[in-house]
Amino acid sequence: MLSDTLTGELERYAIGPRIKALRLRKKLALVQLAAHTGLSPAMLSKIERGQMFPTLPTLLRIAMVFGVGLDHFFSPDKDEPLVAVVRREERLRLPTPPGEGPPAYLFESLDYRASNRRMDAFYAEFPSDSQPSEPHSHGSAEFLYLLQGRLAVDVGGKETVLDTGDALYFDSSVAHSYRREGGEPCTALVVTAP
């Protein structure tokens, strides 16, 4: 059984209606599509109506009939502008590093619903018991805006201390780390470029 979150995410892709649109464009009846895929008409009907989500092998069998790739079912419609809303209550809070002990920071993806995005946006919180993060590198650029508190950011061995309202842009392919300063809550908006 799928959770409400997973069901909601799968429904957002509208895989069933996309299959039905392909089938109608080819003027195939469900029985004909079933014959081509080896799947039952009842299963195909449930998938098209959104009552069942196909597994990847099942979806691949359907895609092969229509000569499309799997990406056809997961890419946004090209006719519509990309708009992706992530509600506060839908975000997952993930610790870094994962596992036992106090995390260096907690982060929430602010744009995980946008496919083919050109940047990644996060809300980061540095708890009162946080340890300095391990040096890491990624992508090509990072922008950090400190919403609250005081944070030391080390980029390539050079440390910069930020106060509430300060912003920092840096080359994130260089090893960098974060260290909370002071006793007040510390939060930031972080945007990275792949």
Q: Would residue 10 count as lying in a domain?
A: yes
Q: How many CB atoms lie within 10 A of CB 24?
A: 11
pLDDT at 102: 87
Query: Residue 47 belongs to what domain range?
Result: 4-73
68 and 102 belong to one structural domain? no
Q: Whole-prediction pTM value?
A: 0.65
15 and 97 belong to one structural domain? no
Q: Would residue 136 count as lying in a domain?
A: yes
153 and 108 belong to one structural domain? yes
pLDDT at 147: 98
pLDDT at 77: 65
66 and 134 belong to one structural domain? no
The CATH number given to whatever domain includes residue 62 is: 1.10.260.40
97 and 177 belong to one structural domain? yes
Q: Is-contact 86 123, C-beta < 8 A?
A: no
- Number of domains making up the chain: 2
Q: Which residue positions in the chain have pLDDT lower than 70?
A: 76-80, 115-116
49 and 100 belong to one structural domain? no
109 and 60 belong to one structural domain? no
